[in-house]
Structure formats: C-alpha cells, structure tokens
Amino acid sequence: MSEEPTVEQLIEAAHARAGDGDELALLDAVVAVSKNVSTRADAAADQVVRMVRQAGHSWTVIGERLGITRQAARQRYADRVEETPPTVGLIRGRDLEGALTAALEAAEADRLAEAGTEHLLLGLLTNGVAAATLEQLGLSRDKIREASRRLFTYPDAAAPTTNTVFSGEAQAALATAEHLATERTPTCAPVVATTPQLLAVIATNPGSRGRRVLNDLGVDVADIKRLLHCYINVPRTALGRRSRRGGKRRQARCSFCGHPRSEDRRLVAGPDAWICADCVSLCQDILRQPAGTAPRI
C-alpha cells in the first residue's frame, strides 16, 4: 500500500492542477485531488477553505463550489476554519500571589505537607484589601495561629517539608474565588482574581477550616461581606454596570471605603460608582510608590 500523501503534498498537487487560478480554483482542485484520500483530505480542504474565507469569499460561494448549500458548508467547516476571537485569560493579582506564597510558607513553618484554608487566612494578612479587612476586624497572625492550634491537630515532631502544596479544600477555595472573579468582572476587562474574592469564599463556606477559625475568633461573616461588598458586587456585563431597573434608590456612598456623602465628604460620581476625596488621596499615595512594588492599603 502506497503511503498516504501529506497535507502539504495535496496542497502542492492542487496548486499544480489549479495553475494560476484564484483561491476558488484552488478549492476546486484540492477537492479533486483529495477525492480518494481519507485521513488528510479533510485537513487539506479545511486549510484551503480557510484561505478562501480569509480572501473574503462568502459561505454561499464556497457551498456552490462544493456542490452543497451555504448552510451545509458553514456547518461543515465553520468550527474548523473560522478564527475564534482571543479571550482575555484569568490572571492572579500580585496581592493574591503574595498571599498564596505566604500561605505555603506558613504551612511549611508548621512542618505540614499541605496548606489548608486556615493557612490561606494567614496569607491573606500579607497585603491588599483582604489584609485591611481582617485587620479592621481585629485579626492577627498570632490569633489565627492560636485558633488553628485549638481547632486542629498538628504533628509536634514532624519532619521539615520543602514541597508543601495546597490541600484539596484550599485548591477548591482558590478555584471558586477565580470563578467569582470571572463572574464579577466586566467582559471588556481582563479577569483578575484578587484577595477579596478568596476571603469571601473562605468566609462563606461553613465547613471550611478557615471559616471555623473565624467562628472561633468571634468574627461575624456579615461584617466581612459588608467590608468586601464594593469589591466583589459588580456583575459581569458588557459595560461592567449593574442594572438600574427596579429597587430602592441607594444612598450615595464611596465605592471604596463605604462612607456616605456628606458636607465634609464630597463624592465624585462614575458609572454606578463613587469615590471620595480621602480615597483619591490614598490612590495618589499608592501611585507615588516605585514601580514594581506591591501597593499596601
């Protein structure tokens, strides 16, 4: 049995058959030369159909050359030859990356092979919005460690580990936080997962080790939701705006610190968002920091 021709050989044979003809002539030729070839014939046809489409020809013209309807041509080739617009991938913010690194280091200090969601809480105290939220609620690394020791059993004489990984629960929390970031980010913007999403996921999972630590320390989850509200409450839409239809008229508040508008606190309005003079000043301070340094709140 002779070796099946390659896609390149089929295209070359089609070019020789079509001569100086245009892309449509090449399409006729590739169909003819690949008629009895099975495996690579479809790939060759796909490649030429892609060339025809890139040249600006319609599915109607392609269907006529192939002896099928426009709809049949589109159904057969569109998924294989049409270029899909690039999508914005999900990335992790520097604050979240720093928190994850700190969480693994905390677990390594405990000589554990796995970092749990209680270690994620320790990592979230590194910097960013989650750190400011936890500190505002009176939490510290020492308090979280003491609560973890009360609730969970850690080996006293375990061998040091340098290959610590996240537990299944911690990985699930991170995946849920990234999904939350995807849902809450405008479709026209890059999706960035940050510490507020991860803290919200840990705090609202009643069975997680991190939530049990928060309960042990007397932290009200409703307070966490309130403090994180303006960072994770915008649904994912084309323009990143919440619907204004229905509902009660909201009091104008700074979307960053939550303080209401008053004579002493003026607000600048944006698309369904506000910012006060104090937060503007804070943003200026952050922007004055040297490039490459993680902003601290």
Q: What is d(CA 123, CA 136) in angstroms, rounded to the nearest whole number?
A: 16
Distances (CA, A) of 52 to 60, 65, 77, 198, 216: 12, 11, 12, 48, 66
In a domain, 142, yes or no: yes
Provide the 8-state DSSP code for 45: H
- Mean pLDDT within 39-68: 80
Lowest mean pLDDT, pick from 10-14, 32-36, 102-106, 214-218? 32-36
In a domain, 238, yes or no: no
Distances (CA, A) of 151 to 113, 118, 138, 206, 208: 18, 10, 19, 15, 12
Contact criterion met (CB below 8 Å) for 199 and 130:
yes
**Residue 94 and residue 77 share a domain:** no
Q: What is d(CA 203, CA 148) in angstroms, rounded to the nearest whole number?
A: 15
Q: What is the overall mean pLDDT for the chain? A: 77
Q: What is d(CA 165, CA 104) in angstroms, rounded to the nearest whole number?
A: 7
In a domain, 133, yes or no: yes
SS3 (DSSP) at 91: strand
Domain end point (choices 181, 204, 232): 232
**Residue 118 and residue 68 share a domain:** no
**Residue 183 and residue 218 share a domain:** yes
Q: Is the pLDDT of residue 1 over 80?
A: no
**Residue 216 and residue 147 share a domain:** yes
**Residue 223 and residue 102 share a domain:** yes
Banded model confidence at residue 159, pLDDT cuts 50, 70, 90: low
In a domain, 201, yes or no: yes
- Mean pLDDT within 236-244: 38
Question: In the numeric block, which tokens belong to residue 21?
Answer: 């003809």
**Residue 126 and residue 216 share a domain:** yes
Domain end point (choices 44, 59, 81): 81
User: Higher confidence at residue 47 or residue 189?
Assistant: 47
**Residue 216 and residue 128 share a domain:** yes
SS3 (DSSP) at 275: strand
What is the DSSP code string of 218-276?
T--HHHHHHHHHHHH-----SSS----SSSPPPPPB-TTT-PBP-SSS-EEEETTEEEE
Lowest mean pLDDT, pick from 7-11, 124-128, 147-151? 7-11
**Residue 126 and residue 26 share a domain:** no
In a domain, 282, yes or no: yes
In a domain, 228, yes or no: yes
Q: Closest Cα partner for 237 from 202, 186, 198?
A: 186
**Residue 222 and residue 125 share a domain:** yes
CATH of residue 214's domain is 1.10.1780.10
Q: Is the pLDDT of residue 292 over 90?
A: no
Q: What does the radius of gyration of the chain's CA atoms come to, in whole angstroms?
A: 29
Dihedrals φ, ψ of 263, to 5°? -65, -30
User: Higher confidence at residue 121 or residue 287?
Assistant: 121
Question: In the numeric block, which tokens belong to residue 218?
Answer: 């007397």
Sign of CA dihedral 148, 221, 266, 235: positive
Q: What is d(CA 146, CA 185) in angstroms, rounded to the nearest whole number?
A: 36
- Mean pLDDT within 130-136: 93
Q: Is the pLDDT of residue 85 over 60?
A: no
Domain end point (choices 232, 253, 288): 232
**Residue 214 and residue 194 share a domain:** yes
SS3 (DSSP) at 157: coil
Lowest mean pLDDT, pick from 9-23, 24-38, 73-87, 130-144? 73-87
The pLDDT score that the predictor gives to residue 40 is 59
> What's the total number of domains in the chain?
3
**Ramachandran sector of residue 292 (left: φ over 0; alpha: ψ -120 to 50; beta: rest):** left
In a domain, 16, yes or no: yes
At residue 295, what is the residue type? Answer: P
The pLDDT score that the predictor gives to residue 245 is 42
pTM of the entire predicted model? 0.51
**Residue 112 and residue 163 share a domain:** yes
Residues in a beta bridge with 181:
none
In a domain, 2, yes or no: no
The pLDDT score that the predictor gives to residue 113 is 86
**Residue 222 and residue 100 share a domain:** yes
**Structural domain boundaries, residue 272:** 243-297
**Ramachandran sector of residue 282 (left: φ over 0; alpha: ψ -120 to 50; beta: rest):** alpha
